[in-house]
Amino acid sequence: MQLKKVAQAKLPTPWGTFTIVGFEELATGKDHVAMVFGDITHQHPVLTRVHSECLTGDALFSLRCDCGFQLEAALKQIAKEGTGILIYHRQEGRNIGLLNKIRAYALQDTGYDTVEANHQLGFAADERDFTLCADMLALLGVKEIRLLTNNPEKIRVLENAGIIISERVPLEVGENPNNEHYLETKAQKMGHILHLHPFHND
């Protein structure tokens, strides 16, 4: 177990009241949270979203990615279902950090795609460690989930960490002309399962 549960409280949102649960990594002290809706104690499998932190998309309304759209859509879907979990995985910019993500944006402005930009900065295309999310689920008492994701890598890592994934639930939202190339790169180079609709300039 790489982390411990340290606090929880009620968190009202536009879609209903969640319980926010705070976790702390044992080795680093870094924090993550899960937002739990309804009584998940006897709910199997549990609808779950593993959402990676994206300050620019989640809080600053960036159209360069689909992150903020996915965050809102996942919370809505979980609340509509009546039970579920959203893990907010605090590994900004695929775990290269906020400032390096801005540096990657600058490289993308000159023609690199998101994978190439990370490589130019000396990082892998994706530096995240999803095993932390498996630990959070275990601490919440959840072993089987329906995972809201377009990313097969999340499925692979969570299953290898002992989580049973009974269904992949697509989460395709937020496509727009500003993130068209970004989403194409995720599909073509990172294996994300996306059904994209090309934009045309008239």
Q: Which residues are annotated as a binding site for GTP?
A: 49-53, 70, 92-94, 114, 149, 154
In angstroms and rounded to an integer, the radius of gyration of the C-alpha atoms of the chain is 17
Of the residues 128, 129, 135, 202, which is catalytic? 128
CA–CA gap between residue 140 and residue 37 (Å, rounded) = 12
Q: Which residues are annotated as a binding site?
A: 49-54, 65, 67, 70, 92-94, 114, 149, 154
Strand order in the sheet with 46-52: 3-13, 16-25, 31-37, 84-89, 46-52, 144-148, 164-169
> How, if at all, do strands 46-52 and 84-89 pair?
parallel
Indicate if 90 belongs to the active site: no
Q: Which residues are annotated as a binding site for Zn(2+)?
A: 54, 65, 67
Indicate if 58 belongs to the active site: no
CA–CA gap between residue 144 and residue 59 (Å, rounded) = 30
Please answer whether residues 175 and 186 qualify as being in contact, where contact means their C-beta atoms are separated by less than 8 angstroms: no
Outline where the chain has alpha helix (H): 55-58, 67-81, 92-95, 98-109, 114-120, 131-139, 152-160, 180-190
**Per-residue tokens: 138:** 């275990």
Of the residues 66, 113, 126, 135, which is catalytic? 126
Catalytic site positions: 126, 128
